[in-house]
A and B are shown apart, each in its own frame.
Chain A
Amino acid sequence: MDQPVRELSYAQAIQEAMAIAMEQDERVFLMGEDIGVYGGAFQVTGDLVERFGADRVIDTPISELGGAGVAVGAAVTGLRPIFEFQFSDFATLAMEQIVNQAAKMRYMLGGAVSVPVVMRFPAGSGTGAAAQHSQSLEAWLGHVPGLKVIQPATPHDAKGMLLAAVADPDPVMIFEHKLLYKMKGPVPEGYYTVPIGKAEIRREGRDLTIVATSIMVHKALEAAKTLEAEGIDVEVVDLRTIRPMDTQTVIDSVKKTSRLLCVYEGVKTLGVGAEVSAAIAESDAFDFLDAPIVRLGGAETPIPYNPELEKATVPQVPDILKAARDLVSGRR
């Protein structure tokens, strides 16, 4: 069944997914700060309050812990809430509900309940929003068993993975890079899902595997284009899901290319790329490595306000180019 495909922005794709979910299932509703009349800090909810009413598109007070608690409770009692954080940084305020309640309740109650809550986190730097509004905290939540953590990189995946998240019986955390919201891409009409826990090969190559997440996928693809002209054939793996991680796809890719570069915006130390590196070093792909594994991650510093410094704290295309050239030419 081929659905017609149009160009939508990443934000529009998410909005469409939420609308479809609410049309299909009356248990689905939205919560978040300023998501009603204002349409959301990044205009992702837009005019959904007019279509579905204030009962299903609910503005919450400025209390992340309270809002998250209501969402988790609603999920436990059988509803399907989608809760938007204004900035992913504010997950820190709601950790009790996310980590101690949502993630554990199914286990602690012997499977008697599940927590089908979806939480959306506008994340990442690049908007000049400084240290408290620019972080990439996906690895924090990726460390918690009981949660599923995803980072869609395209409008297509943003819609399909959100619909998969709504259908999922467990809490799903979606990290959406703020700079992706305006990016356009092909999005099929109607309902479809993109599986959680499955990485996607965005570009096939033989010389080097770049495992990237979220906006870094696009930077890696741009770098791959430049490298192609230099005769370096890069495979780009879009990890898409942090937990549960699809290490098999990475293993297979590394067995083919013998070189691995991990690119992610979160702080490099103890980050997503650290986990990918370790998984490969432990796997049977180890014996296929012909160069050290290299990580490009965020700098070990709070994100600065100064736009030039802000750029310098996260991997950029020239950084990827240099790392890739060094790896393939045997300089590393």
Chain B
Amino acid sequence: MPTEVILPKVDMDMATGKISRWYVEEGAPVKKGDVLFEIETDKAAMEIDAPASGILRDVTGKEGIDIPVGEPVAWIYAEGEAQDRPVAAVAAPATEEPKREDTKPVQAEPMVQAQPAATAAKGEGARATPLARRLAAEAGLSLDAIAGSGPKGRVTRSDVEAIISAPAGRTEAKAPDAPRRPNGQPSASSQALPTDGAVLNHAWLRQGSGRPIVLLHGFGADLNSWRPLLQAGPVDAPVLALDLPGHGGSGRTVPADLDAIAAQVEATLAALDVGPLLLVGHSFGGAVAAAVASRGIADVRALALIAPAGLGPEINGAFLDGFVRARSEASLVPWLKLLVADEQLLSKPFVNATLAQSADSELRGVQAAIADRFFADGTQTFDIRKQLAGLRIPVRVMFGAGDRIIPSSQAFGLPGEIALHVFAATGHMPQLEQREAVLRILLEMARA
């Protein structure tokens, strides 16, 4: 009996989706777990694996059209299995057979009758542990789209985390009733709605005990960009990631200056009742982190800056321009390559994730305005050296020696008590390129 391939629900509030691209052609052999097609919602692009091995046939889900969630889009036949689906072949005359040329979304009725066993397997709902269910819901993932490794295909925490940690392009789900704990004990992942007010979009990426680690992403990124880092090893501390204004799910505003952003970070930390913390910032987020630390409003006990902005005037202006303007894979990838020393790190899902954001013209428009304000004419118009010199907390700066966005030489000349880590053969993303080492350093700082 052939295996049904359906359009999975990859986002919580998704009713339909588009197949942006098939990776396997009709009639071609496919192995279970191979990437079969790419699905696109208004928020994300995601690759879907083949649910079985065999020959791909009856591909009815055409690229670029809206298809209801749960609709069959193709079938995988076992080697040597009759090509025609039983009912379609016997009971339904050729006129009823949906043709590949159909432009309308495929209607399900012939398959539903034809495949009672296959549909039942999917239809009864995915088997998942309560924890996996909760993590998937919080990450906006559909359990149907996750292969379970537990008994009888039960989806467990590790299955969900494996998907979350892949640098995939999902945007965070917008949990309508973000749970917040008054005592500052984070729930596993709580998020505020995107807001124009002071509180920034955020997510608890890890639970744990001890000093919380708060992460501020770089220009053009969002809080999801930290997920690969956290996958590099066990994390026992609670980890909170914020979306900077004009980024991710936060309000699409162009802040006046670093202090304005710092104030929003402080308001968010206060709203979440986050106590003594380790503040971590990457690139532009590093400059924000330095500002927050020096203002003394949030209880920052240690500061980690990864390739921070604000240490010198020079920044790769061509990158900023090109990155913000890129709308297609062809125009985006060359710029992304500048981010890392090893291009292998630019996985397909990572590129797709960035591309999904690039498709959001309003988002990139706001970010272009932010770039104009903070990096006018390819120049870093702000300086964090004075703030750093005044700090009396442990500060560490990490740079990739091969950083092509902000030259690592800008890290020199800092006060002697600030520790400097320089990673060889590493670009602007040490948290991606040297994730084990960076995570180790951060956890060491959180525990100190």
Contacts and interface: CB of A to CB of B under 8 A. Distances in A.
Asked whether A and B interact, the reply is: yes
A290 B134 contact: no
B129 A289 contact: yes
A330 B156 CA distance: 8
A191 interface: no
B134 A330 contact: no
B33 interface: no
Contacts of B151: 330-332
Contacts of A289: 129-131
Interface string B24-58: 00000000000000000000000000000000000
Contact of A290 (B131, B207, B236): B131
A287 interface: yes
A305 interface: no
A77 B436 CA distance: 69
A206 B188 CA distance: 16
A76 interface: no
A287 B157 CA distance: 11
B149 interface: yes
Contact of B129 (A206, A255, A291, A331): A291
Contacts of B236: 206
B334 interface: no
A70 B315 CA distance: 89
A52 interface: no
Interface in A295-312: none
Interface string B155-181: 011100000000000000000000000
B184 interface: no
Interface in B121-149: 129-134, 149
B131 A258 contact: yes
Contacts of B129: 289-291
Contacts of B132: 290
A201 to B, nearest CB: 13
Contacts of A258: 131, 157
Contact of B130 (A206, A287, A330, A331): A287
A288 interface: yes
B150 interface: yes
Nearest to A258: B131
Interface in A245-299: 255, 258, 286-291
Contacts of B131: 258, 287-290
Contact of A330 (B133, B149, B234): B149
Size class of the A contact interface (CB-based, 8 Å): 10 to 19
Chain A at the B interface: SS class:
loop
B313 to A, nearest CB: 47
Contacts of B150: 291, 330
Contacts of A206: 234, 236
A197 B130 CA distance: 29
Contacts of B133: 287
B181 to A, nearest CB: 11
Given A330-B149, A330-B151, A331-B151, A291 B156 contact: yes
A175 B206 CA distance: 41
A289 B130 CA distance: 6
A288 B130 contact: yes
Nearest to A285: B130
Given A330-B150, A330-B151, A331-B151, A287 B134 contact: yes
Contacts of A291: 129, 150, 156
B402 to A, nearest CB: 36
A332 B129 CA distance: 11
A286 B156 contact: no
A228 to B, nearest CB: 16
A252 to B, nearest CB: 10
Contacts of B157: 258, 290
Interface in A173-208: 206
Contacts of A255: 207
Given A258-B157, A330-B156, A286 B130 contact: yes
B151 to A, nearest CB: 6
Interface in B75-99: none
B276 to A, nearest CB: 21
Nearest to B234: A206
A288 B129 CA distance: 9
Nearest to A291: B129
A52 B188 CA distance: 58
A73 B157 CA distance: 56
A288 B134 CA distance: 8
B156 to A, nearest CB: 5
Contacts of A332: 151
A290 B156 CA distance: 6
**Residue of B131, B151, B207 ringed by the most chain A CB atoms within 10 A:** B131
B205 to A, nearest CB: 16
A20 B235 CA distance: 48
A214 to B, nearest CB: 29
A289 B134 CA distance: 10
A291 B149 CA distance: 12
Interface string A305-332: 0000000000000000000000000111
A288 B234 CA distance: 17
Contacts of B234: 206
**Residue of B129, B149, B151, B207 ringed by the most chain A CB atoms within 10 A:** B129
Nearest to A284: B187
- Please give me the 10 A-B residue pairs with the lowest Cβ-Cβ distance, nearest first: A290-B131, A287-B134, A290-B157, A290-B129, A289-B130, A330-B150, A287-B130, A286-B130, A290-B156, A288-B131
Interface of A: 206, 255, 258, 286-291, 330-332
24 contacts: A206-B234, A206-B236, A255-B207, A258-B131, A258-B157, A286-B130, A287-B130, A287-B131, A287-B133, A288-B130, A288-B134, A288-B188, A289-B129, A289-B130, A289-B131, A290-B129, A290-B131, A290-B157, A291-B129, A291-B150, A330-B150, A330-B156, A331-B151, A332-B151
Interface of B: 129-134, 149-151, 156-158, 188, 207, 234, 236
Given A286-B130, A290-B156, 20 more contacts: A206-B236, A255-B207, A258-B131, A258-B157, A287-B130, A287-B131, A287-B133, A287-B134, A288-B130, A288-B131, A289-B129, A289-B130, A289-B131, A290-B130, A290-B132, A290-B157, A291-B156, A330-B149, A330-B150, A330-B156
